Amino acid sequence: MNEKLISIVSNNNSQSLYAENILVKTLIDRNFKVKTEYDPDAELLITIGGDGAFLRTMHKYDFPEMPVIGINTGHLGFFQELLPQNIEDFVDKYERNEYRIDEIKHIEAEICTLTDCMHVIGINEIVIKGDKSATIHLLITLDNDVLENFSGDGILVSTTAGSTAYNYSLGGSIVHPKINILQITPVSPINTTAYRSFTSSVILPESTVIGLKPEYTYENSILIVTDGMEYNYKEIESISIRYSEVGTKLLRMNNYNFWYKAKEKFL
């Protein structure tokens, strides 16, 4: 790690480039070294954009080990803690070590087909659904104990960090970041005399291993969506989802307050 080297990754829209110019000038004036691209040797990674830009950056660079902080030039900006007008104040506090590091845990899915097994990692969530919006039927197990035979559009498994993302829009619960849980939230479940599925979220301990076995009727293709990125696999035999050993270190200002952020963004 190169002390005093700051790596900046921007989504390059006009607002982000404006913020980037201010940030670069401010950092150089304080004798920091700056690269306006990803550098694995940097002591800090700063992403500029919205939450989508943050997630794409994490996936593109294979979940960097250095701390990350974001400047929001997008819409919601739940991961992006700073605003462009706060850049000088942020650099002041960073130099004085007035911050903390919060680590968020990721989830991973092992997807096994007839011929191979693959792994995908998610920061917010992993979604299992039928290709081309087809109804999906899944046998769901928790630590090898049967939970239900699910039918519907799909299921979403979220991390604590992802509880405020797609999970929340599906009616799932917002979870405080100090509580590590897995949350299964159904996507348009079918609940009739023919099919019985949970219609609300299920909250699980972080050690839980969620098993999924597809029941194929017409199509044999399932869509895996992790943080908005789609993967299509044919002839899936089983899916196993659990917390990953990989995590992301978020740099937070000392005055960061989760519930203030949640109320600001959602209420």
Are 215 and 127 within one domain?
A: yes
Q: Label the pairing between strands 145-158 and 125-130.
A: antiparallel
Let me know whether 132 and 201 are in one domain.
yes
The whole-number pLDDT of residue 244 equals 95
Q: What is the CATH number of the domain that holds 176?
A: 2.60.200.30
- Name 147's Cβ contacts closer than 8 Å, sequence gap at least 6: 140, 141, 202
Same domain, 149 and 28: no
> Which entry of 29, 39, 41, 51 is annotated as an active-site residue?
51
Number of domains in the chain: 2
Is the pLDDT at 27 greater than 90? The verdict is yes
Distance CA 173, CA 185 (A): 9
Q: Is residue 256 part of a domain?
A: no
Residue 155 maps to a domain: yes
Same domain assignment for residues 122 and 87: no
Query: Which residues, including other chains, have CB under 8 Å from residue 3's CB and lie 6 or more apart?
Result: 43
Q: How far apart are CA 52 and CA 191, in angstroms?
A: 33
Question: pLDDT tens digits for 56-86?
Answer: 999 999 999 999 999 999 877 788 889 999 9
pLDDT in tens, 195-243: 778 899 999 999 999 999 998 755 567 899 999 999 988 889 999 999 9
The C-alpha atoms of residue 55 and residue 39 are separated, in whole angstroms, by 17
In a domain, 15, yes or no: yes
- Over residues 124-156, the pLDDT tens digits come to 999 999 888 788 999 999 999 999 999 999 999
Render pLDDT for 112-121 as a digit per residue (tens, 0 to 9).
Answer: 998 999 999 9
Alpha-carbon 24 to chain mean position: 27
Q: Which CATH number belongs to the domain containing residue 32 in this structure?
A: 3.40.50.10330
Residue 97 DSSP symbol: T
pTM of the model: 0.92
Q: Is 131 a catalytic residue?
A: no
Q: How far apart are CA 139 and CA 109, in angstroms?
A: 16
Q: What is the pLDDT of residues 242-257, one digit of tens each?
A: 999 989 999 999 988 8
Query: Considering the domain boundaries, does residue 263 fall inside one?
Result: no
Q: Are residues 68 and 121 in the same domain?
A: no
Is the Cβ–Cβ distance between 68 and 103 less than 8 Å? no
- Given phi > 0 = left and psi -120 to 50 = alpha, else beta, which region is 171? left
Same domain? 75 vs 52: yes
Residue ranges making up the domain that contains 176: 106-245
119 in the same domain as 238: yes
Helix (H/G/I), strand (E/B), else coil: 18:
helix
Residue 255 located in a structural domain: no
Q: Are residues 116 and 213 in the same domain?
A: yes
At residue 3, the pLDDT reads: 82
The last residue of one of the domains, among 64, 97, 130, is 97
The one-letter code for the residue type at 256 is: Y
